[in-house]
Amino acid sequence: MRIHRPLGQRGAHSEASGRSRGGFTSKIHARCDNQGRPLGFVLTGGHASDYKATDVLRKPPVPRPKAMLADRGYDSDSFRQDLLIHGILPVMPSRKDRSAPQKTDWRRYRGRSRIERMFNHLKQMRRIATRYDKTALFFISCLDLAAARLWVKSFVNAT
């Protein structure tokens, strides 16, 4: 018996998995607060551009940030302009192939290490590091559980 799916949801793409150099992979995009605690996740296929996750990550009802720290993958003129229109300072290095490099506030960019540490803490869970889960919904649920563990740590020893 064949399962019929709507167009655009066939195969690995509907489950946020896509072919990249290392095989089928997925990318985790996260929005964090200034302490490096996750506020939301978006999954995309390993081959997909980073820009596809930006609109969804800005939708959660949390206070608007003053700056957005991101890596080179998010660098584009249109994305930078969109952030500035919304009153958010883009803090990201320019892509290497950019003809007119943008200035980067490297002192502020150092705060991005909190985000990298957050991903490191998430990937301490073997299930997240290896993505055993076949469906995107279950994988996002595991990410949410791991994020809850990070949030609980910040409240347990607080006085």
Is 1 part of any domain?
no
Domain count, the chain: 1
- On whether the CB atoms of residues 33 and 39 are closer than 8 A, the answer is yes
pLDDT in tens, 10-45: 444 566 665 556 667 778 888 888 888 898 888 887
Is 6 part of any domain?
no
Residues 6+ apart with CB under 8 A from 159: none
Is 5 part of any domain?
no
Using a 10 angstrom Cβ sphere, with 0-12 exposed, 13-18 middle and 19 or more buried, the burial of residue 39 is: middle
Is 139 part of any domain?
yes
Whether residue 1 has pLDDT greater than 50: no
pLDDT in tens, 75-120: 888 888 988 998 989 999 988 888 888 888 899 989 889 999 999 9
CA distance 56 to 61: 11
End-to-end CA gap in the chain = 59
Residues pairing with 27 in the sheet: 44
| pLDDT-derived band at 4, boundaries 50, 70, 90 | very low
**pLDDT value at position 5?**
39
Domain carrying residue 38? 12-156
Query: What is this structure's pTM?
Result: 0.75
Is 57 part of any domain?
yes
Is 87 part of any domain?
yes
* Location of structure tokens 């919304």: 86
**pLDDT value at position 121?**
92
* Location of structure tokens 């167009």: 7
Element (H, E) at 55: helix 54-57
Is 7 part of any domain?
no
- CATH at residue 128: 3.30.420.10
Is 86 part of any domain?
yes
